[in-house]
Structure 1
Amino acid sequence: MKLMRVGPPGEERPTVIDENGQIRDLSGHVPDFTGQGVSLAALETIRGIDLTTLPVLPEGARIGACLGAVPNFFCVGLNYAKHAAETGAKPPAEPILFSKAASALAGPNDAVTIPPGSEKSDWEVELGVVIGKPCWQVSEAEALDHVAGYCVVNDLSERAWQMEHGGQWIKGKSAPGYGPCGPWLVTADEVPDPQALGLSLDLNGERVQDSDTSDMIFGVAEIVSYMSRFMQLVPGDLIATGTPSGVGLGMKPPRFLRAGDVMELRVEKLGEQRQEVVAAE
Protein backbone atom coordinates (compact mmCIF):
# COMPACT_ATOMS: atom_id res chain seq x y z
CA MET A 1 0.00 0.00 0.00
CA LYS A 2 0.90 3.62 -0.49
CA LEU A 3 -0.35 5.79 2.35
CA MET A 4 -0.36 9.58 2.11
CA ARG A 5 -1.59 12.59 4.08
CA VAL A 6 -3.12 15.53 2.22
CA GLY A 7 -4.42 18.94 3.22
CA PRO A 8 -3.24 22.21 4.75
CA PRO A 9 -0.71 22.07 7.60
CA GLY A 10 -2.40 20.79 10.72
CA GLU A 11 -5.49 19.65 8.78
CA GLU A 12 -4.09 16.72 6.80
CA ARG A 13 -6.29 13.71 6.08
CA PRO A 14 -4.95 10.15 6.00
CA THR A 15 -5.41 8.60 2.57
CA VAL A 16 -4.52 5.50 0.61
CA ILE A 17 -3.68 5.31 -3.08
CA ASP A 18 -5.87 2.74 -4.86
CA GLU A 19 -4.83 0.51 -7.76
CA ASN A 20 -5.90 3.19 -10.23
CA GLY A 21 -3.83 5.89 -8.56
CA GLN A 22 -6.84 7.61 -7.00
CA ILE A 23 -6.53 9.19 -3.56
CA ARG A 24 -9.02 7.56 -1.19
CA ASP A 25 -9.96 9.27 2.09
CA LEU A 26 -9.30 7.10 5.17
CA SER A 27 -10.23 9.71 7.76
CA GLY A 28 -13.45 7.90 8.65
CA HIS A 29 -11.50 4.76 9.49
CA VAL A 30 -8.17 5.86 11.00
CA PRO A 31 -7.42 9.04 12.97
CA ASP A 32 -3.96 9.61 11.46
CA PHE A 33 -0.70 7.91 10.55
CA THR A 34 1.01 8.31 13.90
CA GLY A 35 2.22 5.82 16.51
CA GLN A 36 -0.18 2.90 16.67
CA GLY A 37 -1.83 4.24 13.52
CA VAL A 38 1.06 2.77 11.52
CA SER A 39 1.46 -0.39 13.58
CA LEU A 40 1.44 -3.65 11.66
CA ALA A 41 -2.00 -4.38 13.14
CA ALA A 42 -3.35 -1.02 11.95
CA LEU A 43 -1.98 -1.63 8.47
CA GLU A 44 -3.73 -5.00 8.35
CA THR A 45 -6.99 -3.27 9.26
CA ILE A 46 -6.54 -0.84 6.38
CA ARG A 47 -5.83 -3.73 4.00
CA GLY A 48 -9.22 -5.18 4.94
CA ILE A 49 -11.13 -2.08 3.83
CA ASP A 50 -12.91 -2.13 0.49
CA LEU A 51 -11.23 0.91 -1.04
CA THR A 52 -14.06 1.40 -3.53
CA THR A 53 -16.28 2.44 -0.60
CA LEU A 54 -13.97 5.32 0.35
CA PRO A 55 -14.45 8.87 -0.96
CA VAL A 56 -12.11 9.94 -3.74
CA LEU A 57 -10.21 13.16 -3.07
CA PRO A 58 -9.26 15.46 -5.94
CA GLU A 59 -5.63 15.72 -6.93
CA GLY A 60 -3.69 18.92 -6.44
CA ALA A 61 -4.02 19.32 -2.68
CA ARG A 62 -0.93 19.88 -0.60
CA ILE A 63 0.83 16.66 0.42
CA GLY A 64 1.79 16.58 4.07
CA ALA A 65 4.46 14.55 5.80
CA CYS A 66 3.53 10.89 5.41
CA LEU A 67 3.61 10.59 9.22
CA GLY A 68 1.51 12.99 11.26
CA ALA A 69 3.97 12.86 14.16
CA VAL A 70 6.73 10.56 15.32
CA PRO A 71 7.64 9.26 18.78
CA ASN A 72 11.29 9.47 17.72
CA PHE A 73 13.10 10.71 14.61
CA PHE A 74 16.36 8.77 14.55
CA CYS A 75 19.22 9.08 12.07
CA VAL A 76 22.30 7.11 11.10
CA GLY A 77 25.45 9.05 10.26
CA LEU A 78 28.19 8.30 7.72
CA ASN A 79 26.41 5.17 6.54
CA TYR A 80 27.42 5.18 2.87
CA ALA A 81 31.00 4.22 2.07
CA LYS A 82 31.50 6.90 -0.58
CA HIS A 83 29.92 9.59 1.62
CA ALA A 84 32.27 8.76 4.49
CA ALA A 85 35.17 9.04 2.06
CA GLU A 86 34.06 12.44 0.71
CA THR A 87 33.92 13.89 4.23
CA GLY A 88 37.37 12.52 5.07
CA ALA A 89 35.94 10.33 7.81
CA LYS A 90 36.98 6.78 8.58
CA PRO A 91 34.09 4.36 7.97
CA PRO A 92 32.50 3.67 11.36
CA ALA A 93 32.89 0.29 13.00
CA GLU A 94 29.36 0.53 14.40
CA PRO A 95 26.35 2.62 13.32
CA ILE A 96 26.55 6.28 14.36
CA LEU A 97 23.18 7.13 15.90
CA PHE A 98 21.69 10.55 16.56
CA SER A 99 18.29 12.24 16.46
CA LYS A 100 16.42 15.04 14.75
CA ALA A 101 13.75 16.94 16.62
CA ALA A 102 10.32 15.53 15.82
CA SER A 103 9.24 19.11 15.05
CA ALA A 104 11.47 19.05 11.95
CA LEU A 105 8.90 16.93 10.07
CA ALA A 106 7.55 18.58 6.93
CA GLY A 107 5.70 17.80 3.74
CA PRO A 108 7.70 16.51 0.77
CA ASN A 109 7.06 19.59 -1.34
CA ASP A 110 6.92 22.28 1.33
CA ALA A 111 9.29 25.20 0.97
CA VAL A 112 12.45 24.92 3.06
CA THR A 113 13.11 28.07 5.05
CA ILE A 114 16.76 28.74 5.85
CA PRO A 115 16.74 29.61 9.56
CA PRO A 116 18.14 32.93 10.79
CA GLY A 117 21.92 32.79 11.09
CA SER A 118 22.36 29.75 8.87
CA GLU A 119 25.17 29.89 6.32
CA LYS A 120 25.85 26.18 5.83
CA SER A 121 22.55 24.38 5.23
CA ASP A 122 22.99 21.17 3.25
CA TRP A 123 20.91 18.47 1.55
CA GLU A 124 20.80 14.71 2.23
CA VAL A 125 18.50 12.29 0.39
CA GLU A 126 17.85 9.23 2.53
CA LEU A 127 15.82 6.06 2.84
CA GLY A 128 13.43 6.37 5.78
CA VAL A 129 12.35 3.30 7.76
CA VAL A 130 9.14 3.32 9.82
CA ILE A 131 8.81 0.87 12.72
CA GLY A 132 5.57 -1.14 12.91
CA LYS A 133 5.79 -3.05 16.19
CA PRO A 134 7.81 -2.85 19.40
CA CYS A 135 11.37 -3.83 18.72
CA TRP A 136 13.69 -4.78 21.58
CA GLN A 137 16.66 -7.12 21.44
CA VAL A 138 15.75 -8.50 18.02
CA SER A 139 18.13 -10.38 15.78
CA GLU A 140 19.15 -9.18 12.36
CA ALA A 141 17.13 -12.05 10.87
CA GLU A 142 14.00 -10.82 12.68
CA ALA A 143 14.52 -7.11 12.22
CA LEU A 144 12.65 -6.49 8.96
CA ASP A 145 9.58 -8.20 10.43
CA HIS A 146 9.26 -5.12 12.66
CA VAL A 147 9.22 -2.61 9.79
CA ALA A 148 5.90 -1.05 8.76
CA GLY A 149 7.24 0.62 5.64
CA TYR A 150 9.59 3.04 3.96
CA CYS A 151 9.62 6.63 2.76
CA VAL A 152 11.84 9.32 1.26
CA VAL A 153 13.54 11.63 3.77
CA ASN A 154 15.58 14.77 3.17
CA ASP A 155 17.81 14.94 6.25
CA LEU A 156 18.53 18.65 5.88
CA SER A 157 21.51 19.72 7.95
CA GLU A 158 23.00 23.02 9.10
CA ARG A 159 26.66 22.05 9.10
CA ALA A 160 27.99 24.87 11.27
CA TRP A 161 25.41 24.13 13.94
CA GLN A 162 26.09 20.41 13.58
CA MET A 163 29.88 20.53 13.74
CA GLU A 164 31.15 23.87 15.03
CA HIS A 165 29.18 24.36 18.24
CA GLY A 166 30.19 21.27 20.23
CA GLY A 167 27.83 18.75 21.73
CA GLN A 168 25.49 16.56 19.70
CA TRP A 169 24.66 16.72 15.98
CA ILE A 170 20.96 17.23 16.77
CA LYS A 171 21.45 21.01 16.83
CA GLY A 172 22.29 21.04 13.13
CA LYS A 173 19.50 18.67 12.14
CA SER A 174 16.39 20.03 13.75
CA ALA A 175 15.34 23.39 12.33
CA PRO A 176 11.63 23.62 11.44
CA GLY A 177 11.07 21.98 8.08
CA TYR A 178 14.45 20.22 8.05
CA GLY A 179 12.84 16.76 7.91
CA PRO A 180 10.64 16.44 4.81
CA CYS A 181 9.23 12.91 4.54
CA GLY A 182 7.00 11.30 1.96
CA PRO A 183 5.12 11.67 -0.34
CA TRP A 184 4.09 8.15 0.62
CA LEU A 185 4.60 5.67 3.38
CA VAL A 186 5.06 2.55 1.26
CA THR A 187 4.34 -0.62 3.22
CA ALA A 188 7.15 -3.12 3.58
CA ASP A 189 5.51 -5.76 1.38
CA GLU A 190 6.10 -3.47 -1.63
CA VAL A 191 9.83 -3.18 -0.87
CA PRO A 192 11.14 -6.75 -0.73
CA ASP A 193 14.80 -5.67 -0.63
CA PRO A 194 15.56 -2.29 0.97
CA GLN A 195 19.21 -2.73 -0.06
CA ALA A 196 18.35 -2.53 -3.76
CA LEU A 197 16.86 0.97 -4.11
CA GLY A 198 18.27 3.76 -6.23
CA LEU A 199 18.24 7.23 -4.70
CA SER A 200 19.23 10.63 -6.06
CA LEU A 201 19.02 14.37 -5.52
CA ASP A 202 19.13 17.18 -8.08
CA LEU A 203 20.04 20.72 -7.11
CA ASN A 204 18.77 23.32 -9.58
CA GLY A 205 18.53 20.59 -12.21
CA GLU A 206 22.06 19.24 -11.61
CA ARG A 207 22.37 15.66 -10.34
CA VAL A 208 24.53 15.91 -7.21
CA GLN A 209 23.63 12.66 -5.43
CA ASP A 210 23.18 9.44 -7.40
CA SER A 211 23.62 6.10 -5.67
CA ASP A 212 21.74 3.10 -4.33
CA THR A 213 21.23 1.55 -0.95
CA SER A 214 23.69 -1.27 -1.67
CA ASP A 215 26.42 1.27 -0.76
CA MET A 216 25.21 1.36 2.83
CA ILE A 217 27.84 0.29 5.33
CA PHE A 218 25.09 -1.01 7.64
CA GLY A 219 21.91 -2.27 5.98
CA VAL A 220 18.39 -1.71 7.28
CA ALA A 221 18.14 -5.06 9.08
CA GLU A 222 21.48 -4.50 10.80
CA ILE A 223 20.51 -0.95 11.81
CA VAL A 224 17.19 -2.00 13.34
CA SER A 225 18.74 -4.93 15.16
CA TYR A 226 21.65 -2.82 16.41
CA MET A 227 19.38 -0.05 17.69
CA SER A 228 17.19 -2.57 19.49
CA ARG A 229 20.19 -3.58 21.62
CA PHE A 230 20.14 -0.16 23.28
CA MET A 231 16.52 1.03 23.12
CA GLN A 232 13.02 -0.21 22.40
CA LEU A 233 11.83 1.04 19.06
CA VAL A 234 8.07 1.62 18.93
CA PRO A 235 5.43 1.92 16.20
CA GLY A 236 5.76 5.18 14.31
CA ASP A 237 9.47 5.68 14.99
CA LEU A 238 11.21 7.01 11.87
CA ILE A 239 14.83 6.13 11.08
CA ALA A 240 16.71 8.05 8.39
CA THR A 241 19.37 5.56 7.34
CA GLY A 242 22.11 7.81 6.00
CA THR A 243 22.92 9.68 2.81
CA PRO A 244 25.13 8.82 -0.16
CA SER A 245 27.97 10.93 -1.49
CA GLY A 246 27.30 14.27 -3.16
CA VAL A 247 26.38 16.52 -0.24
CA GLY A 248 27.44 20.16 -0.29
CA LEU A 249 29.86 19.70 2.59
CA GLY A 250 31.91 17.27 0.53
CA MET A 251 32.29 19.50 -2.52
CA LYS A 252 35.46 21.43 -3.21
CA PRO A 253 34.83 24.18 -2.36
CA PRO A 254 31.82 23.33 -0.17
CA ARG A 255 28.45 24.40 -1.55
CA PHE A 256 25.48 25.23 0.64
CA LEU A 257 21.83 26.06 0.11
CA ARG A 258 20.71 29.59 -0.74
CA ALA A 259 17.30 31.17 -1.29
CA GLY A 260 15.99 30.27 -4.73
CA ASP A 261 17.65 26.85 -4.86
CA VAL A 262 15.41 23.90 -5.77
CA MET A 263 15.98 20.35 -4.53
CA GLU A 264 14.39 17.40 -6.32
CA LEU A 265 14.94 14.02 -4.69
CA ARG A 266 13.69 10.52 -5.14
CA VAL A 267 14.05 6.99 -3.85
CA GLU A 268 13.10 4.09 -6.12
CA LYS A 269 9.58 2.75 -5.39
CA LEU A 270 8.99 5.49 -2.78
CA GLY A 271 8.25 8.59 -4.83
CA GLU A 272 9.72 12.05 -5.27
CA GLN A 273 10.07 15.30 -3.34
CA ARG A 274 10.60 18.87 -4.55
CA GLN A 275 11.52 21.73 -2.24
CA GLU A 276 12.24 25.36 -3.01
CA VAL A 277 14.58 27.12 -0.60
CA VAL A 278 13.43 30.45 0.82
CA ALA A 279 15.02 32.96 3.15
CA ALA A 280 13.71 33.53 6.65
CA GLU A 281 11.38 36.51 6.87
Structure 2
Amino acid sequence: MKLASFTHRGRPGYGAVIGDGIVDVRPRMPRLHSLLDVLRADALKEVMDVAANVRPDFPLTDVQLLPPVIGPEKILCIGVNYGNRNEEYKDGSEKPKYPSMFFRTPGSFVGHGQPLIRPPESPQLDYEGEIVIVIGKECHRITAEQAADHIIGYTLCNEGTIRDWVRHAKFNVTQGKNFDRSGSIGPWMVTADEIEYGKPLHLTTTVNGEVRQDDTTANLIFDYGALLAYITTFTTLKPGDMIVTGTPTGAGARFDPPKWLKPGDVIEVTVPEIGTLRNGVEDGL
Protein backbone atom coordinates (compact mmCIF):
# COMPACT_ATOMS: atom_id res chain seq x y z
CA MET A 1 0.00 0.00 0.00
CA LYS A 2 1.09 3.57 -0.68
CA LEU A 3 0.67 5.89 2.30
CA ALA A 4 0.95 9.66 2.06
CA SER A 5 0.73 12.79 4.16
CA PHE A 6 -0.93 15.82 2.59
CA THR A 7 -2.91 18.98 2.99
CA HIS A 8 -6.32 19.47 1.38
CA ARG A 9 -7.68 23.01 1.35
CA GLY A 10 -5.30 23.85 4.16
CA ARG A 11 -6.32 20.91 6.34
CA PRO A 12 -3.68 18.25 7.16
CA GLY A 13 -4.42 14.62 6.48
CA TYR A 14 -2.87 11.25 5.78
CA GLY A 15 -4.09 8.20 4.01
CA ALA A 16 -3.79 5.56 1.32
CA VAL A 17 -3.07 6.36 -2.31
CA ILE A 18 -5.45 4.33 -4.47
CA GLY A 19 -4.94 4.78 -8.20
CA ASP A 20 -5.15 8.51 -8.91
CA GLY A 21 -6.88 9.32 -5.63
CA ILE A 22 -6.34 9.24 -1.90
CA VAL A 23 -8.42 7.84 0.96
CA ASP A 24 -8.29 10.26 3.88
CA VAL A 25 -7.75 8.01 6.91
CA ARG A 26 -7.44 10.74 9.52
CA PRO A 27 -11.18 11.33 10.09
CA ARG A 28 -11.76 7.57 10.12
CA MET A 29 -9.11 7.06 12.85
CA PRO A 30 -9.45 10.27 14.90
CA ARG A 31 -7.20 9.11 17.73
CA LEU A 32 -4.23 9.06 15.34
CA HIS A 33 -3.51 12.48 13.86
CA SER A 34 -0.60 11.61 11.56
CA LEU A 35 1.22 8.79 9.86
CA LEU A 36 3.90 9.14 12.52
CA ASP A 37 1.22 8.48 15.16
CA VAL A 38 0.18 5.38 13.21
CA LEU A 39 3.72 4.03 13.17
CA ARG A 40 4.29 4.77 16.85
CA ALA A 41 1.02 3.03 17.72
CA ASP A 42 1.86 0.02 15.52
CA ALA A 43 -1.47 0.59 13.79
CA LEU A 44 -0.51 0.09 10.15
CA LYS A 45 -2.72 -3.00 9.81
CA GLU A 46 -5.67 -0.95 11.07
CA VAL A 47 -4.99 1.74 8.45
CA MET A 48 -4.90 -0.90 5.74
CA ASP A 49 -8.21 -2.33 6.94
CA VAL A 50 -9.84 1.12 7.10
CA ALA A 51 -8.71 1.99 3.57
CA ALA A 52 -9.59 -1.35 2.01
CA ASN A 53 -12.45 -1.25 -0.53
CA VAL A 54 -13.04 2.47 0.09
CA ARG A 55 -13.43 4.94 -2.76
CA PRO A 56 -10.85 7.75 -2.69
CA ASP A 57 -12.00 10.96 -1.03
CA PHE A 58 -9.94 13.28 -3.25
CA PRO A 59 -8.04 13.08 -6.51
CA LEU A 60 -4.29 13.42 -6.02
CA THR A 61 -4.42 16.59 -8.10
CA ASP A 62 -6.48 18.24 -5.33
CA VAL A 63 -3.98 17.68 -2.51
CA GLN A 64 -0.50 18.99 -1.70
CA LEU A 65 1.69 16.03 -0.88
CA LEU A 66 4.06 16.42 2.07
CA PRO A 67 6.99 14.25 3.12
CA PRO A 68 5.30 10.96 4.05
CA VAL A 69 6.33 11.01 7.72
CA ILE A 70 6.00 14.45 9.31
CA GLY A 71 8.22 15.25 12.30
CA PRO A 72 10.32 12.09 12.70
CA GLU A 73 12.78 12.04 15.54
CA LYS A 74 15.70 11.28 13.22
CA ILE A 75 16.56 11.64 9.53
CA LEU A 76 19.97 10.04 9.10
CA CYS A 77 21.72 10.27 5.72
CA ILE A 78 24.45 7.96 4.40
CA GLY A 79 27.27 9.35 2.29
CA VAL A 80 29.35 7.68 -0.45
CA ASN A 81 27.45 4.39 -0.29
CA TYR A 82 27.64 3.22 -3.92
CA GLY A 83 30.86 1.46 -4.93
CA ASN A 84 31.51 3.64 -7.94
CA ARG A 85 30.83 6.79 -5.87
CA ASN A 86 33.91 6.02 -3.82
CA GLU A 87 35.89 5.81 -7.07
CA GLU A 88 34.30 9.07 -8.21
CA TYR A 89 36.31 10.95 -5.57
CA LYS A 90 39.56 9.92 -7.34
CA ASP A 91 41.52 10.03 -4.09
CA GLY A 92 42.86 6.48 -4.29
CA SER A 93 41.07 5.42 -1.12
CA GLU A 94 39.81 1.91 -0.57
CA LYS A 95 36.14 1.21 0.07
CA PRO A 96 35.24 2.42 3.55
CA LYS A 97 35.08 0.07 6.53
CA TYR A 98 32.22 2.03 8.11
CA PRO A 99 29.39 4.15 6.71
CA SER A 100 29.73 7.92 6.52
CA MET A 101 26.67 9.67 7.89
CA PHE A 102 25.10 12.94 8.96
CA PHE A 103 21.72 14.16 10.22
CA ARG A 104 19.24 16.40 8.42
CA THR A 105 16.41 18.41 9.89
CA PRO A 106 12.80 17.85 8.79
CA GLY A 107 12.61 21.51 7.72
CA SER A 108 15.30 20.94 5.09
CA PHE A 109 12.83 18.82 3.08
CA VAL A 110 9.66 19.56 1.13
CA GLY A 111 7.21 17.12 -0.41
CA HIS A 112 6.54 15.97 -3.96
CA GLY A 113 5.57 18.80 -6.29
CA GLN A 114 6.89 21.57 -4.06
CA PRO A 115 9.86 23.64 -5.22
CA LEU A 116 13.35 23.19 -3.89
CA ILE A 117 14.69 26.54 -2.75
CA ARG A 118 18.05 27.80 -3.99
CA PRO A 119 19.26 30.13 -1.22
CA PRO A 120 20.69 33.57 -1.93
CA GLU A 121 23.94 32.58 -0.18
CA SER A 122 25.05 30.22 -2.97
CA PRO A 123 24.22 29.15 -6.55
CA GLN A 124 25.61 25.66 -5.90
CA LEU A 125 22.34 23.78 -5.30
CA ASP A 126 22.87 20.14 -6.29
CA TYR A 127 20.64 17.05 -6.52
CA GLU A 128 21.14 13.55 -5.08
CA GLY A 129 18.53 10.89 -5.82
CA GLU A 130 18.25 8.31 -3.04
CA ILE A 131 16.11 5.52 -1.59
CA VAL A 132 14.85 5.97 1.97
CA ILE A 133 14.03 3.23 4.43
CA VAL A 134 11.42 4.03 7.09
CA ILE A 135 11.66 2.39 10.50
CA GLY A 136 8.52 0.76 11.86
CA LYS A 137 9.72 -0.82 15.09
CA GLU A 138 12.13 0.44 17.71
CA CYS A 139 15.53 -1.17 17.41
CA HIS A 140 18.80 -1.04 19.32
CA ARG A 141 21.86 -3.23 18.71
CA ILE A 142 20.13 -5.43 16.15
CA THR A 143 21.90 -7.74 13.72
CA ALA A 144 21.86 -7.35 9.95
CA GLU A 145 19.64 -10.43 9.77
CA GLN A 146 17.01 -8.71 11.95
CA ALA A 147 16.85 -5.55 9.86
CA ALA A 148 13.93 -6.53 7.63
CA ASP A 149 11.68 -6.92 10.69
CA HIS A 150 12.21 -3.27 11.56
CA ILE A 151 11.61 -1.67 8.15
CA ILE A 152 8.01 -0.55 7.61
CA GLY A 153 8.37 1.01 4.17
CA TYR A 154 10.34 2.82 1.49
CA THR A 155 10.22 6.25 -0.06
CA LEU A 156 12.45 8.49 -2.21
CA CYS A 157 14.64 11.49 -1.52
CA ASN A 158 16.27 14.27 -3.47
CA GLU A 159 18.96 15.03 -0.93
CA GLY A 160 19.58 18.57 -2.15
CA THR A 161 22.95 19.98 -1.16
CA ILE A 162 24.57 23.42 -1.18
CA ARG A 163 28.00 22.23 -2.27
CA ASP A 164 30.27 25.06 -1.20
CA TRP A 165 28.66 25.11 2.24
CA VAL A 166 29.62 21.48 2.94
CA ARG A 167 33.24 22.70 2.91
CA HIS A 168 32.92 25.58 5.35
CA ALA A 169 34.46 23.56 8.16
CA LYS A 170 37.03 20.78 8.41
CA PHE A 171 35.04 17.96 10.00
CA ASN A 172 31.40 18.26 8.96
CA VAL A 173 28.95 18.76 6.10
CA THR A 174 25.97 19.78 8.24
CA GLN A 175 25.61 23.35 6.97
CA GLY A 176 25.38 22.49 3.28
CA LYS A 177 22.98 19.64 3.95
CA ASN A 178 20.40 21.55 5.98
CA PHE A 179 19.33 24.69 4.17
CA ASP A 180 15.58 25.10 4.58
CA ARG A 181 13.54 23.44 1.81
CA SER A 182 16.65 22.46 -0.15
CA GLY A 183 15.70 18.77 -0.53
CA SER A 184 12.58 16.64 -0.86
CA ILE A 185 11.12 13.34 0.33
CA GLY A 186 8.18 11.50 -1.21
CA PRO A 187 5.90 11.20 -3.01
CA TRP A 188 4.61 8.58 -0.55
CA MET A 189 5.75 5.59 1.47
CA VAL A 190 5.33 2.14 -0.06
CA THR A 191 4.83 -0.43 2.69
CA ALA A 192 7.52 -3.07 3.02
CA ASP A 193 5.19 -5.94 2.13
CA GLU A 194 5.01 -4.54 -1.42
CA ILE A 195 8.78 -4.75 -2.08
CA GLU A 196 10.83 -7.90 -1.70
CA TYR A 197 13.51 -7.25 0.92
CA GLY A 198 16.98 -7.22 -0.63
CA LYS A 199 15.73 -7.09 -4.21
CA PRO A 200 17.94 -4.75 -6.27
CA LEU A 201 16.05 -1.53 -6.96
CA HIS A 202 16.83 0.56 -10.05
CA LEU A 203 17.15 4.28 -9.29
CA THR A 204 17.35 7.06 -11.86
CA THR A 205 17.56 10.83 -11.47
CA THR A 206 16.76 13.15 -14.36
CA VAL A 207 17.10 16.92 -14.68
CA ASN A 208 14.81 18.42 -17.33
CA GLY A 209 14.47 14.92 -18.80
CA GLU A 210 18.22 14.26 -19.03
CA VAL A 211 19.35 11.14 -17.14
CA ARG A 212 22.03 12.15 -14.66
CA GLN A 213 22.03 9.19 -12.24
CA ASP A 214 21.36 5.54 -13.11
CA ASP A 215 22.28 2.67 -10.78
CA THR A 216 20.86 -0.14 -8.65
CA THR A 217 21.04 -0.96 -4.97
CA ALA A 218 23.04 -4.06 -5.92
CA ASN A 219 25.99 -1.63 -5.89
CA LEU A 220 25.49 -0.41 -2.32
CA ILE A 221 28.64 -0.70 -0.21
CA PHE A 222 26.53 -1.02 2.95
CA ASP A 223 23.14 -2.66 2.36
CA TYR A 224 20.11 -2.03 4.56
CA GLY A 225 21.04 -4.77 7.03
CA ALA A 226 24.59 -3.51 7.44
CA LEU A 227 23.35 0.06 7.91
CA LEU A 228 20.81 -0.79 10.59
CA ALA A 229 23.23 -3.06 12.44
CA TYR A 230 25.85 -0.31 12.52
CA ILE A 231 23.53 2.61 13.28
CA THR A 232 21.74 0.84 16.11
CA THR A 233 25.01 0.26 17.95
CA PHE A 234 25.12 3.97 18.84
CA THR A 235 21.50 5.18 18.64
CA THR A 236 18.07 3.68 19.11
CA LEU A 237 16.00 3.90 15.94
CA LYS A 238 12.31 4.59 16.54
CA PRO A 239 9.14 4.31 14.46
CA GLY A 240 9.10 6.96 11.76
CA ASP A 241 12.86 7.48 11.68
CA MET A 242 14.22 7.59 8.14
CA ILE A 243 17.55 6.40 6.76
CA VAL A 244 18.51 8.05 3.45
CA THR A 245 20.71 5.34 1.99
CA GLY A 246 23.09 7.13 -0.39
CA THR A 247 23.22 8.44 -3.95
CA PRO A 248 24.79 7.03 -7.14
CA THR A 249 27.35 8.78 -9.32
CA GLY A 250 26.25 11.66 -11.50
CA ALA A 251 25.51 14.53 -9.14
CA GLY A 252 25.95 17.96 -10.68
CA ALA A 253 29.18 18.67 -8.77
CA ARG A 254 30.94 15.86 -10.65
CA PHE A 255 30.56 17.40 -14.10
CA ASP A 256 33.22 19.65 -15.64
CA PRO A 257 32.04 22.35 -15.39
CA PRO A 258 29.55 21.54 -12.59
CA LYS A 259 25.85 21.48 -13.46
CA TRP A 260 24.14 23.33 -10.62
CA LEU A 261 20.37 23.48 -10.35
CA LYS A 262 18.70 26.73 -11.32
CA PRO A 263 15.17 28.15 -11.18
CA GLY A 264 12.89 26.43 -13.67
CA ASP A 265 14.72 23.09 -13.57
CA VAL A 266 12.66 19.96 -12.88
CA ILE A 267 14.26 17.01 -11.08
CA GLU A 268 12.71 13.54 -11.06
CA VAL A 269 13.92 10.69 -8.86
CA THR A 270 12.39 7.36 -9.89
CA VAL A 271 12.32 3.79 -8.61
CA PRO A 272 9.59 1.82 -10.43
CA GLU A 273 8.54 -0.08 -7.30
CA ILE A 274 8.10 3.18 -5.38
CA GLY A 275 7.21 5.90 -7.88
CA THR A 276 8.60 9.26 -8.98
CA LEU A 277 9.52 12.19 -6.76
CA ARG A 278 9.29 15.38 -8.83
CA ASN A 279 10.33 18.90 -7.81
CA GLY A 280 11.07 22.19 -9.49
CA VAL A 281 13.51 24.85 -8.32
CA GLU A 282 12.90 28.42 -7.20
CA ASP A 283 15.09 31.14 -5.78
CA GLY A 284 14.64 31.95 -2.10
CA LEU A 285 14.89 35.31 -0.36
TM-score class, shorter: over 0.9
Deviation of 1:228 (Å): 0.6
Q: In the alignment, is the contact (CA less than 8 A) between 1:39 and 1:148 conserved in 2?
A: no
> In structure 2, what is the equivalent of residue 41 of structure 1?
42
- Tell whether 2:153 aligns with 1:152: no
Structure 1 length-normalised TM: 0.93
Deviation of 1:194 (Å): 4.2
- Tell whether 2:252 aligns with 1:253: no
> In structure 1, what is the equivalent of residue 203 of structure 2?
199
Query: How many angstroms apart in 1 are the aligned matches of 2:67 and 2:9?
Result: 9
For residue 85 of structure 2, the aligned residue among 83, 86, 99 is: 83
**Deviates further, 249-258 or 7-16:** 7-16
> In structure 2, what is the equivalent of residue 17 of structure 1?
17
Mapping 1:160-179, distance limit 5 Å = 160-179=164-183
C-alpha deviations, 1:93-112, integer Å up to 9, x for none? 11112111121121121111
> In structure 2, what is the equivalent of residue 27 of structure 1?
26
Identity %: 30
Deviation of 1:186 (Å): 0.7
For residue 69 of structure 1, the aligned residue among 65, 68, 71 is: 71
Deviation of 1:253 (Å): 2.2
CA-atom RMSD in angstroms: 1.9
Query: How many angstroms apart in 1 are the aligned matches of 2:183 and 2:242?
Result: 11
C-alpha deviations, 1:109-157, integer Å up to 9, x for none? 1111101211221100000011111110101100110011100111111
C-alpha deviations, 1:26-49, integer Å up to 9, x for none? 012131112x42248221221232
Q: Name the SS for the 1:76 alignment partner.
A: strand
**1:57/1:215 CA distance change after superposition, 3 Å:** same
Query: How many angstroms apart in 1 are the aligned matches of 2:153 and 2:198?
Result: 10
> In structure 2, what is the equivalent of residue 2 of structure 1?
2
Deviation of 1:65 (Å): 1.3
What is the aligned residue count? 279
- Tell whether 2:132 aligns with 1:131: no
> In structure 1, what is the equivalent of residue 225 of structure 2?
221
**Deviates further, 9-18 or 199-208:** 9-18
Query: How many angstroms apart in 2 are the aligned matches of 1:80 and 1:38?
Result: 29
Q: Name the SS for the 2:60 alignment partner.
A: coil
Q: In the alignment, is the contact (CA less than 8 A) between 1:156 and 1:179 conserved in 2?
A: yes
Deviation of 1:191 (Å): 1.2
Q: Name the SS for the 1:133 alignment partner.
A: coil
Structure 2 length-normalised TM: 0.91
**1:10/1:67 CA distance change after superposition, 3 Å:** farther
Q: In the alignment, is the contact (CA less than 8 A) between 2:148 and 2:197 conserved in 1?
A: no
Query: How many angstroms apart in 1 are the aligned matches of 2:49 and 2:261?
Result: 44
**1:152/1:75 CA distance change after superposition, 3 Å:** same
Task: Specify every segment of 5 or more residues in structure 2 that has no aligned partner in the other structure, as ranges.
Answer: none
Query: How many angstroms apart in 2 are the aligned matches of 1:58 and 1:51?
Result: 17
> In structure 1, what is the equivalent of residue 60 of structure 2?
59
Q: In the alignment, is the contact (CA less than 8 A) between 1:40 and 1:148 conserved in 2?
A: no
Mapping 1:179-198, distance limit 5 Å = 179-198=183-202
- Tell whether 2:105 aligns with 1:101: yes
The residue identity in structure 2 corresponding to 1:37 is V
**Deviates further, 45-54 or 231-240:** 45-54
Query: How many angstroms apart in 1 are the aligned matches of 2:240 and 2:14?
Result: 14
- Tell whether 2:241 aligns with 1:242: no
The residue identity in structure 2 corresponding to 1:79 is N
Query: How many angstroms apart in 1 are the aligned matches of 2:266 and 2:189?
Result: 23
Query: How many angstroms apart in 2 are the aligned matches of 1:76 and 1:102?
Result: 16
> In structure 2, what is the equivalent of residue 209 of structure 1?
213
Deviation of 1:264 (Å): 1.4
- Tell whether 2:115 aligns with 1:116: no
The residue identity in structure 2 corresponding to 1:6 is F
Query: How many angstroms apart in 2 are the aligned matches of 1:95 and 1:40?
Result: 30
